């Protein structure tokens, strides 16, 4: 483990962090533009051409606003909440393989920060930790609405984590590996897992919507009944952290879905392109394809938000417990039987 | 380097565990317990048991402690509705704690004499090896423990059903 290894990983971490923040920043802009498009409006168009400087203006606004900590709030935990939300959102990208091994000069560079052999479970763990930011912030605000929102977030995340875990188990039966690097490289060309696990993908996607607190599952920040929910008492950049963390979570979820089910950096005809572009540019082209898939998922997140109305709380619970979990278990059983038959003959 | 990291993390574990007991606010107690579990995860990683580490991370930190926090927030425990602790309860507590200390000292003494256990396979904690062990030689106890969990789950569901009938 030489100094060049450290530098390589350092650059990769910084780049990933910058890309996550940049994508989260422009997701806020994209969200408003998509909403405007779907509702036949113009959307933000004043700051810069087509309004592309709008996220910068929003960021400056967030920093400049007065910072208020409620007198009866628990000061320490009030500050820990948004920080934790941001931390959990940012560490998920560490195990994602962003591309094939790339040749830079004579050096073989791995486009992945770390390949732990339980990468998939690590992602799952990070997602399940994300709820603490909401819970701690909601409780520390010392406000009824925030507390109710925190409790909703907790019960929602716990419920949908089960279905998510079960859908991952069916995927593991197909891939035989917990390492994300191996799962992605198995989907070479067009052998994407979504072909073998369509139902599993559907369950995983619904759960990802619920875990990121996005519409139609955004009950923790349901403004009609909770006045804004867990971040109601927050102002300035602390509020900004919560909103930002949501967009980073959306980016990470899109990345995980693209990597697990839609082949990651793989695309049909990649061997031909590898011959055409050489060992430096072909992996980068794959990474670009990967990002296209991620953006498609982010667009889908937004599309759903502005199309489907919010669930009622009891509907949310009955969907999670009575529809998704039995479906996920049935999916595991069917997948197991099919794999046993295929292996036999 | 391994030992110094171990001692550092172990000290943190002990400090956080003590804070769980000493914290006045129940929510703070739970948060310290979460930190304690996090240090346990680090211990598992140091022992090269990655699977156990990540499962501890998901199950204890990500699920069980969320439920703990959920229940405590729902109950909203204050100093007003805390049950009074009588002198008798305190004496009983001291005796029980003393018994635990004696038991711990007794068991630790025998550990010091016994030979340290040396694993034949240092990579036992990795998913593949652990799975082969669990579904090979330890198949029966593993399945039995899962049945135990299932029966507990069925029991819990049954309890909530009965309550519903009594209310309605």
Over its length of 345 residues, how does chain A's per-residue pLDDT go in tens digits?
A: 678 888 888 888 898 888 888 888 888 888 888 888 888 888 888 877 888 888 888 888 888 888 888 888 788 888 888 888 888 888 888 888 888 777 777 777 777 888 777 888 888 888 888 888 888 888 888 888 888 888 888 888 888 888 888 998 888 888 888 888 888 888 887 888 888 888 889 999 998 888 888 878 877 777 677 777 787 788 888 888 888 888 888 899 999 999 888 888 888 877 787 777 777 788 888 888 889 999 999 999 888 888 888 888 888 888 888 888 999 999 999 999 998 898 887
pLDDT on residue A141 = 83
* HSE of B31, CA atoms in CB hemisphere, 13 A: 19
C-beta neighbour count of A322 within 10 angstroms? 10
CA pair distance B71, B79, nearest whole angstrom: 17
**Torsion region of A277: left, alpha or beta (phi above 0 gives left; psi -120 to 50 gives alpha):** alpha
Q: Has the ipTM of the complex gone over 0.85?
A: no
How distant is the Cα of A47 from the closest Cα of chain B, in angstroms?
41
State the Cα–Cα distance between residues A328 and A311, nearest whole angstrom.
Answer: 21
**B63 with A136: Cβ contact below 8 A:** no
How many residue pairs from chains A and B have C-beta atoms closer than 8 A? 62
What's the pLDDT score for residue B98? 93
- What's the pLDDT score for residue B79? 57
Degrees, nearest 5: CA angle B11-B16-B18: 95
Query: Could you give the CA distance from residue A317 to residue A320 in angstroms, rounded to a whole number?
Result: 5
Report the Cα A133 to chain-centroid distance in Å: 16
**Cβ contact, residue pair A150, B73, below 8 Å:** yes
Q: What is the pLDDT of residues A270-312, one digit of tens each?
A: 778 777 777 778 888 888 888 999 999 999 988 888 888 888 8
A149-A152-A158-A163 Cα dihedral, nearest 10 degrees = -120
What are B's interface residues with A at a Cβ cutoff of 8 A?
Answer: 27, 31, 34, 50-51, 54-55, 57-58, 61-63, 66-67, 69-70, 73-74, 76, 126-127
Cβ B70–A151 below 8 Å, yes or no? yes
Q: Which helix (H) or strand (E) holds A102?
A: strand A102-104
- How many Å lie between the alpha carbon of A280 and the closest alpha carbon of chain B? 33
CA Rg, chain B, in Å?
A: 21
Residue B48 Cα, gap to closest chain A Cα (Å): 12
Asked if A135's CB is within 8 angstroms of B66's CB, the reply is yes
Contact B69 A161 (CB under 8 A): no
Cβ distance of B34 and A132 shorter than 8 Å: yes
Q: Which of B52, B57, B131 to mutate to test the interface with A (most CBs of A within 10 A)?
A: B57
Q: Give residue-wise pLDDT tens across range B19-40.
A: 988 888 888 888 899 899 999 9
Kindly report the nearest CA distance between residue A79 and chain B, in angstroms.
14
Residue A55 in contact with residue A28, Cβ under 8 Å? yes
The residue of chain B nearest to residue A152, with distances taken between CA atoms, is B70
| A78, A136 Cβ separation under 8 angstroms | no
Contact in structure between A261 and A175 (CB atoms under 8 Å):
no
Nearest 10 degrees: Cα torsion A69, A74, A76, A80: -80
pLDDT at position A142 is 81
Under 8 Å between Cβ of B13 and B39: yes
DSSP state of B115: P
Query: pLDDT digit string (tens) for A114-151?
Result: 877 788 888 888 888 888 888 888 888 888 888 888 88
Alpha-carbon distance values, B157 to A152, B57, B89 (Å): 21, 26, 33
User: Of A200, A228, A12, nearest to A113 (Cα)?
Assistant: A12
CA atoms within 13 A on the CB side of B39: 18
- Contact (CB<8Å) A151/B50: no
B61–A116 CB contact, under 8 Å: no
Q: Which of B33, B51, B73, B132 has the highest number of chain A CBs within 10 A, making it the mutation to test binding with A? A: B73
pLDDT at B168: 46
DSSP A319: I
Task: Name the residue in chain A with its Cα closest to that of B55.
Answer: A121
Q: Is the peptide bond before A216 cis (omega within 30 degrees of 0)?
A: yes
């Amino acid at each position: 483990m030489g100094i060049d290894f450290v530098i390589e990983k350092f650059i990769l971490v910084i780049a990933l962090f910058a890309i996550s923040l940049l994508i989260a920043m422009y997701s806020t802009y994209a969200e408003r533009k998509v909403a405007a498009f779907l509702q036949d409006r113009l959307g933000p168009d004043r700051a810069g051409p087509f309004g592309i400087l709008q996220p910068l203006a929003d960021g400056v606004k967030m920093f400049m606003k007065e910072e208020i900590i409620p007198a009866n709030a628990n000061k320490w935990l009030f500050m820990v909440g948004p920080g934790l939300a941001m931390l959990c959102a940012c560490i998920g990208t560490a195990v994602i393989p962003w591309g094939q091994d790339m040749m830079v000069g004579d050096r073989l560079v791995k486009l992945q920060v770390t390949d732990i052999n339980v990468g998939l479970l690590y992602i799952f763990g990070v997602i399940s930790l994300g709820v603490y930011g909401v819970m701690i912030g909601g409780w520390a605000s010392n406000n009824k609405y925030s507390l109710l929102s925190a409790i909703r977030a907790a019960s929602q995340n716990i419920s949908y984590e089960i279905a998510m875990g079960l859908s991952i188990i069916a995927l593991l039966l197909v891939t035989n590996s917990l390492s994300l690097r191996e799962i992605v490289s198995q989907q070479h060309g067009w052998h994407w897992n979504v072909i073998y696990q369509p139902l599993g993908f559907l369950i995983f996607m619904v759960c990802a919507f619920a875990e990121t607190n996005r519409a139609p599952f955004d009950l923790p920040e349901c403004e009609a009944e909770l006045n804004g929910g867990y971040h109601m008492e927050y102002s300035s950049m602390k509020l900004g952290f919560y909103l930002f963390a949501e967009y980073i979570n959306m980016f990470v979820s899109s990345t995980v879905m693209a990597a697990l089910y839609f082949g990651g950096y793989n695309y049909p005809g990649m061997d031909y392109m590898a011959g055409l572009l050489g060992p430096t540019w072909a992996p980068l082209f794959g990474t670009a394809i990967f990002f296209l898939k991620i953006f498609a998922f982010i667009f889908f997140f937004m599309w759903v938000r502005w199309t489907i109305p919010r669930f009622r709380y009891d509907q949310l619970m009955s969907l999670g417990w009575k529809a998704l979990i039995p479906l996920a278990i049935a999916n595991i059983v069917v997948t197991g039987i099919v794999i046993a038959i295929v292996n036999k003959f | 380097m391994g030992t110094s990291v171990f001692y550092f993390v172990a000290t943190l574990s002990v400090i956080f565990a003590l804070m769980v007991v000493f914290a006045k606010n129940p929510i703070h107690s739970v948060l310290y317990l979460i930190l304690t579990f996090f240090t346990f995860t680090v211990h598992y990683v140091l022992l090269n048991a990655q699977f156990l580490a990540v499962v501890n991370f998901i199950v204890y930190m990500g699920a069980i402690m969320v439920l703990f926090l959920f229940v405590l927030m729902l109950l909203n425990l204050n100093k007003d509705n805390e049950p009074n602790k009588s002198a008798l309860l305190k004496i009983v507590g001291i005796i029980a704690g003393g018994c635990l200390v004696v038991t711990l000292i007794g068991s630790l003494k025998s550990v010091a004499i016994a030979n340290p256990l040396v694993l034949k396979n240092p990579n036992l904690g990795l998913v593949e090896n652990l799975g082969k062990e669990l579904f090979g030689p330890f198949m029966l106890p593993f399945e039995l423990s899962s049945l135990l969990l299932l029966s507990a789950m069925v029991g819990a569901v049954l309890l909530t059903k009965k309550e519903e009938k009594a209310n309605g």
